[in-house]
């Protein structure tokens, strides 16, 4: 049985600003040797213009996932539209867990037992930062400008028009939760299974929104 698909047409186009915006009032980077914790409410990265937030999002009683979401809350004033999650199938404890950018260049999410729940498995001896831009992309970038990892390479429940992924990409959703696809004027062919939405860019506009059960 095919799962429901929610398609939202976004009437605006987000720009692709430079990472280094000196005028932004927000914290949008994490340096090597630093970490974020769900125990600190202000341990959140915010994109330079404030559109997106990245941090620990509560998914249950003392259960958190490291996620990206729209900063603007939904109609209830509390919840947000989630764009991406690192550990959605394995939430962590709210105490003694953290996301750390290690000195060896690996970005690691550990739980209260110091077990690695998720990691980018990257290495770098040069200076490195985790940068968060206005296209909702988290990027591990070296001082030489080399991208070691980016969240765009592993989209999850939501795909935005700013995500310049390869033409063939898989969106893996969380259990029975509907997949949200945010599109603008691109053409897509979508095939839904019980666990995967296969998204392939097409050339012909006539195939916009075509689904196959």
Query: Please, what are the averages of pLDDT over each run of 10 residues along the chain (213 residues)?
Result: 42 38 78 95 94 96 95 92 92 95 96 92 94 94 94 76 50 46 42 39 36 38
Model pLDDT, residue 160: 63
Set out the domains of the chain in order of their start, with CATH numbers.
9-153 (2.90.10.10), 155-212 (no CATH)
| pLDDT reported for residue 158 | 65
CA distances to 22, 83, 212 from 191, in Å: 43, 20, 5
pLDDT given for residue 156 in this prediction: 73
Give yes or no for a contact between 138 and 132, defined as CB atoms under 8 angstroms apart.
yes
Contact 139, 133 (CB under 8 A): yes
- The predicted pLDDT at position 41 comes to 87
CA 14, CA 135: separation in Å to the nearest integer?
7
């Amino acid at each position: 049985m095919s799962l429901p698909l929610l398609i939202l047409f976004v009437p605006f186009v987000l720009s692709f600003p430079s990472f280094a915006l000196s005028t932004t009032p927000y914290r949008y980077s994490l340096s090597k040797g630093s970490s974020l914790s769900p125990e600190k409410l202000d341990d959140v990265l915010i994109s330079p213009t404030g559109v997106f937030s990245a941090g620990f999002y509560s998914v249950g009683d003392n259960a958190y996932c490291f996620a990206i979401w729209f900063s603007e809350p939904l109609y209830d004033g509390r919840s947000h539209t989630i764009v991406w999650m690192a550990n959605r199938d394995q939430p962590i404890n709210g105490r003694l867990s953290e996301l750390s950018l290690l000195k060896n260049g690996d970005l690691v999410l550990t739980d209260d037992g110091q077990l690695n729940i998720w990691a980018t498995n990257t290495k770098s001896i040069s200076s490195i930062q985790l940068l968060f831009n206005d296209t909702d992309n988290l990027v591990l970038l070296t001082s030489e400008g080399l991208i070691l990892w980016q969240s765009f390479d592993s989209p999850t429940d939501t795909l935005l028009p700013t995500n310049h992924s390869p033409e063939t990409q898989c969106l893996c959703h969380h259990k029975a939760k509907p997949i949200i696809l945010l599109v603008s004027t691109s053409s897509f062919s979508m095939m839904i299974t019980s666990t995967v939405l296969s998204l392939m860019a097409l050339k012909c506009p006539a195939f916009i929104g075509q689904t196959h059960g």
